[in-house]
Amino acid sequence: MTRGSLTRAARALGPLALLALAFLPLGGCSSLGDLELLNPGGDIGAQEKNLILIALGLMLLVVIPVILLTLFFAWRYRASNTKATYAPKWAHSTAIEVVVWTIPCLIVATLAVLIWRTTHSLDPYKPLESNAAPVHVEVVALNWKWLFIYPDYGVASVNHLELPTNRPVDFKITAESMMNSFFIPQLGSQIYAMAGMQTQLHLIADKPGTYAGLSASFSGPGFSDMHFAAVAAEPKDFDAWVQEAKGSRLTLDQDTYEALEKPSSKVPVTIYSSVIPGLFDSVVDKYMPAMAMPHTASNDQAMNDQAMNGQAMNSAAVRQTTAKAEEQ
């Protein structure tokens, strides 16, 4: 083998080696089960999976031809190919312009319609249509654990979320201090948990299973251990869990809550047989003094609207709202 042919062989193998390297990280995905967003456990999750796949497919309509044509052009118009047209003065082609502008425009238009529709149909604040009555869960993001209060049953749990299957779950979410993000990828939609305000989320689990729940927003040193198991159980198993929780020796009274809200991480699952009445609202009101008035529908709606459009995320906006409320 001459030196020249060796270099040529190396040149030819280069792109192949790069291609092999590009696929290497995918070796970690042993099954679809590891890709949680693509393995939904409920209706909202399933619709979001479809949205991800449709958007991916539409974008690949551009990406794949571009990659293939790049390789083709590089090979076809290589210096050693004397048969290909050599046009150093070439500058414009109306046909190419039409293709490269029309296709992306059509894709952007299609995506825009699709996303506009799903943004409304999958609105996390929109109650789910179902024959079954929703289960209410009040979520408080603490540093660095999750507190779940079941106002209908009077029980609470830390770092464990029990849900009945085929019943919509109506979450009200707030935070004790740092902003976190409440997320059960297999059930769908993440939403922020913020002090002094209440966000909402509606999810449903179709099949029994244990889904990973986490905070999707970095919130300090205990963040990486701030996860919980969301257990979707058959309604009778869920009822059994509630009964079991009611038999717990632990109660969530004021002292217990004050101890719980102190920063700590890797807190084991804890179940409480009773909770301070109105704990969730008092956590929300604690950081929103001007809002500490009776929770009327219009009042709650105003807070939700703030949460929705993100105005209250801006502390100046919070102060303005607070000042306005004080004037009234």
Q: Report the residue number, 165 or 306, with the smaller CB distance to Cu ion.
A: 306
Closer CB to Cu ion, residue 47 or residue 311? 311
Q: Give the closest residue to 252 by CA, choosing from 154, 178, 162.
A: 154
Whole-number minimum distance, CB 318 to Cu ion, in Å? Answer: 9
**Based on CB atoms, which residue is closest to Cu ion, 179 or 292?**
179
Which residues lie across from 188 on neighbouring strands? Answer: 184
Per the listing, tokens 């008092």 go with 282
> For residues 14 and 289, which CB has a smaller minimum distance to Cu ion in the complex?
289
Q: Any idea which residue has 């979320």 for tokens? A: 161
Residues 296-325 that bind Cu ion (CB under 5 A): 312-313
Residue 114 or 313 having the CB closest to Cu ion: 313
Determine contact, residues 140/175, Cβ cutoff 8 Å: yes
User: Whats the size of the chain, residue-wise?
Assistant: 328
Q: How many CB atoms lie within 10 A of CB 21?
A: 9
Residue type for 176, please? E
Task: Compute the distance between CA of residue 132 and CA of residue 280 in angstroms, rounded to an integer.
Answer: 24
CB of 196 to Cu ion, least distance (A): 9
Considering CB under 5 A, how many residues would be counted as binding Cu ion?
3
Q: Are 162 and 258 within 8 A, CB to CB?
A: no
Q: How far is the CB of 136 from Cu ion (least distance, A)?
A: 22
Between 157 and 174, name the residue whose CB sits nearer to Cu ion: 174
Phi, psi of 30 (to 5 degrees): -75, -30
Shorter beta-carbon distance to Cu ion: residue 159 or 306: 306
CB of 313 to Cu ion, least distance (A): 4
Beta carbon of residue 192, minimum distance to Cu ion (angstroms, whole number): 6
Which residue sits closest to Cu ion, CB atoms considered?
Answer: 313
Q: What does the block give as tokens for 274? A: 């009773």
Burial class of 118 by CB neighbour count within 10 A (0 to 12, 13 to 18, 19+): middle
3-state secondary structure of 92: coil
Give how far the C-alpha of residue 192 lies from the chain's centroid of Cα atoms, to the nearest Å.
9
Q: Which is nearer to Cu ion, 138 or 162 (CB)?
A: 138
Q: How far is the CB of 189 from Cu ion (least distance, A)?
A: 16
- Residue 320 phi, psi dihedral angles, 5° rounding: -60, -50
Pattern 132-151, binding to Cu ion, x per CB under 5 A?
Answer: --------------------
Quote the least distance from Cβ 260 to Cu ion, whole Å: 24
Strand partners, 203: 169
Q: Which of residues 221-250 bind Cu ion (CB under 5 A)?
A: none
Distances (CA, A) of 267 to 159, 189, 223, 231, 312: 8, 25, 12, 18, 30
Which lies closer to Cu ion via its Cβ, residue 283 or residue 312? Answer: 312
Strand pairing category for 169-175 and 135-142: parallel
Q: Which residues within the stretch 6-25 sit at the binding site for Cu ion (CB under 5 A)?
A: none
Cα-Cα-Cα-Cα dihedral sign, residues 250, 252, 258, 262: positive
Q: How far is the CB of 311 from Cu ion (least distance, A)?
A: 8
Site string for Cu ion, 187-226 (x = CB under 5 A): -------x--------------------------------
Q: Smallest gap, in angstroms, from Cβ of residue 31 to Cu ion?
A: 37
Instruction: Summarize as ranges the residues that interact with Cu ion (CB under 5 A).
Output: 194, 312-313
